[in-house]
Amino acid sequence: MPPPRLNHQDLRNESTTKDKTGTLDVPLKFLDQDYQELQKSCFTNKMRFVDDKFPPDSSSIDPQKKLKLDLDQIKWFRPSNIVSNPQLIVQGASRFDYSQGSYLGNCWFLASVGALTFQKEIMDQVMPADQSFGKDYAGIFHFRFWRFGKWIDVVIDDKLPTIKGKLIFVHSKTSNEFWPALLEKAYAKVCGSYADMHAGCVSEALLDFTGGVHVYFKLKQTSTDLWSLMDRAAKAKALMGCSTSRGDTSANTVLPNGIVQGHAYTVTGVFKVTSQGEPVRLVRVLNPWGKGEWTGAWSDKSLLWNSVSESDQSNCRSSAIDGEFWMSMEDFAENFRGIDICCLSPDFLDSSSKYSWTSTCYYGSWDAGTTAGGRPNNKETFWTNPQFRVKIEELDKECASGQCPENILVSLMQKHENRYRSLVSNYFIGFSVFVIPPEMKDEKFPAKFFYNKHPVEASEKFTQARHVMKFFKLEPGEYLIVPSTLNPNERAKFTLSIFLKSGSQKRN
């Protein structure tokens, strides 16, 4: 994704377009902590780092006392106090390395971690390679996340919460491997505490790991050939996650077919096999619990595997009890609610290899009384919302008539100032798209422009979420995109990203 550019109305929100801070090369220092300086200070003073911004006490675990934990039992230990030979990574980072802890409902985060392990380049961005328990060890580690348009560098100490010497949150299946626990601790620090990671959407962490383009599809409400799109996404090294509906009972209810209700999973692969002369499109899924699998068709013990070639069995079939399983695309769509795909480039959206996508990112804000006009029904104030012009170019026939007719993706993310994730109340947000007549050259379109005018496109509905997006088609011409909250005078910052299908051919 290219560096962000600014709309002329929103320069007040960023000091300069040439500012390199907040990039992967120059990430922002989270809570003003400088990893290099803190590490150097530890060496100079011959001491191990203790993080006063995320202290090893109950305030970092559950300040609101929402988890069912006896905080008095918890002891914070460094890995060297838990095992004799701690390692950051043992024989490479894998989706099978860890299991979710019993006290924290952060399957959405761990499902994203499972996807992250497939992409070493992205993994190295999130977890810089210049750290270990060997040389230069000082009890300090750092991780990088993309948050609301900026990369941040997050420093932690390596003291981890335990009960009776055992890690209480995510833990590795290899006793002396600690990258999952340290990654979880760094993300907990960003969220405010471990408890602030309880419950969430898999898309949140996927975006925070990549800073890329995110698309979401409801599996039962789309005409898109999702298996083919997922296949392209996998080849483009995308991160994918999915989730199930909560159902009529409480979350985490295990259905007779092995699927967990109200739960997040990782999509770890797509594959096509031939069974009895017919092609079958399969999806591979991972339960972040590290156990609990689908028991239906194409599951580990399914007799259907006997109908495919030995080569396909060798490539796909596994009898390991590790939480990972195969199922047909039809069963996948029937049992899961939606799929989230996050990739560094949106090029996978188009089945044609000849064309690319361009992107522009804007930073803005809704300010009470000035630029927070609410939804289109608020006729007197809607026009005060930030406005963004976009031009849709005409594409050649081959590009326009491909398997992917959509030519624009709009992504809107809101940002609040409160550090503690559980205390943030997201507004209902959305965006509306209007045609701009060729003769209109207004810098800011007034209220009368919107009277009796209906959007040609809009987000599906106003949604109470951190992030909303829509993938759709517009005819060539100029358009106005207006992001807004549901109600007037709701104050928040936002990031608006616009991805356009380009007629220029991709570079080899």
User: Catalytic residue at 263?
Assistant: yes
Length of the chain measured in residues: 508
- Say if CB 431 and CB 481 are below 8 A apart: yes
- Terminal Cα distance for the chain, rounded: 18
Catalytic residue among 171, 198, 263, 467: 263
Q: Which residues of 122-140 are buried (b: 16+ CB within 10 A; e: fewer)?
A: bbebbbeeebebeeebbbb
User: Catalytic residue at 8?
Assistant: no
Neighbours of 166 (CB within 10 A): 10
Tell me the CA distances in angstroms from 60 to 82, 159, 190, 192, one per residue in order: 20, 11, 11, 7
**421 token code pair:** 């994730």
Name every residue whose Cβ is closer than 8 Å to that of residue 463 and which is 6 or more positions away in sequence. Answer: 428, 429, 430
- CA triplet 389, 393, 398: central angle to 5 degrees? 150
Catalytic residue among 198, 214, 287, 404: 287
Written as one string, the DSSP assignment of 135-181 is: TT--SEEEEEEEETTEEEEEEEE--EEEETTEESSSEESSTTB-HHH
**Residue 97 corresponds to which amino acid?**
D
Catalytic residue among 42, 107, 342, 404: 107
User: Catalytic residue at 107?
Assistant: yes
Give me the sheet containing 408-415, strands edge to edge: 355-366, 492-505, 408-415, 467-472
Distance CA 471, CA 484 (A): 18
Residues assigned a catalytic role: 107, 263, 287
